[in-house]
Structure 1
Amino acid sequence: MRNTKRNPAGAALSDLVLDLFSVNNRILTAGDRLVADLGLTSARWQVLGTIVETERPQPVAWLARDMGANRQNVQRIVNDLADDELVAFEPNPHHRRAPLVVLTDKGREVFDAAMRLQAPWINGLADGLRVEDIETTHRVITALRRKLEGDGNSEEPT
């Protein structure tokens, strides 16, 4: 039988994870409202941002990996973005069936407009929070992400 009793760190982390779920849902909802007039959703905005951050065009599978997301979901979003002419596909010299996703000029304009909306929103959200606390939280979340991505010490929830 598995040990179901949490140690103090496990209990604190469990509480944090539950709060992260709630915060994530609220951030997505707020993001949807923020960029709705641009024809975006939080998911579309996130994919555009991932494309912007890459050093060179990537296939959908690599974008999904970078996002920590499901490839099929990212493919659906990329297809929608392509339908709206925000991204385009280019031939991939390394893989015929995995085209590279590139941002169009229209996609860059929409992404930049979203970021102009995001700046005052995020500044207002940060108001009253200490930079040191935000940085500490960021380090903890980054460490958790790295553990979940690779060292095998984290088991799947049951």
Structure 2
Amino acid sequence: MTESADLLSGLALGAFRLNGQFLQVAEGLARPAGMTAAWWQVLGAVLREPLPVAGIARVMGMSRQGVQRIADLLVERGLAEYRPNPAHRRAKLLQPTAEGRESIAKIIPAHQELADRLVADLGQETARECLAALRRLSTALHHLNEDP
């Protein structure tokens, strides 16, 4: 294998491991609020503004079908609701209910405590560098997927 192939494999395996670690952490943070990491992810995507399921999927890097299933569960449990979408009759907008916002609010203190511990461990500058590197990697992969 070439060095570039080794680097791609290392980046992918590192990202998969990191994804698993973040999902484990997210499950632990969401559980006390009666949520799952996936519910938190979808509900978190619509905290600032309601979005259609396809929009949530794009923002979160999830499948539209997966987001639809979670959105329906959130609505069924009273954590979110569908609203009419003036831009598209059939693609309703998902938005959190007051109960959904309360559930997210329960996660915030533990999330902040973990954030403080992680940044203290890494150091603020290294944490910023990691974030910048992840964004560059994501952008590069996005561009590669656009090319024929």
Q: TM-score range by the shorter chain?
A: 0.7 to 0.9
Q: 1:82 aligns with which of 75, 83, 88?
A: 75
For the residue of structure 1 that corresponds to 2:95, the secondary structure is: strand
Match of 1:6 in 2: 2
Deviation for aligned residue 1:122? 2.2
1:19 — aligned with what? 14
What are the ranges of 5 or more consecutive residues in structure 1 without an aligned counterpart? none
Distance 1:133 1:13 in 2: 22
The equivalent position to 1:42 in structure 2, one of 29, 37, 53, is: 37
Tell me how far apart the structure 2 counterparts of residues 87 and 27 of structure 1 sit (CA, whole Å): 24
Aligned residues: 148
Whether 1:98 aligns to 2:94 is no
Q: TM-score, normalized by length of structure 1? A: 0.83
Q: Which has the higher contact order (CA 8 A, sep 6+)?
A: 2
1:125 counterpart residue number: 118
The structure with more helix, counted as a fraction of residues: 2
Paired AA for residue 98 in structure 1: A
Alpha-carbon distance in 1 for matches of 2:123, 2:103? 31
How many Å apart are 1:17 and its aligned residue?
A: 2.6
Contact 1:147 1:153 in 2 (8 A): no
Change (3 A) 1:123 1:13: farther
Q: Which secondary structure does the structure 2 equivalent of 1:102 belong to?
A: strand
Aligned-pair RMSD on alpha carbons? 2.0
Gaps of 5+ in 2: none
Deviation at 1:151, TM superposition (A): 4.6
Counting aligned pairs with the same residue, the percent is 33
Q: Structure 1, residues 59-96: CA drift from partner, whole Å, max 9, x if none?
A: 11111111111000011111111111111001112222
Moved more, 26-35 or 73-82: 26-35
Cα distance in 2, alignment partners of residues 129 and 35 from structure 1: 24
Q: TM-score by structure 2 length?
A: 0.88
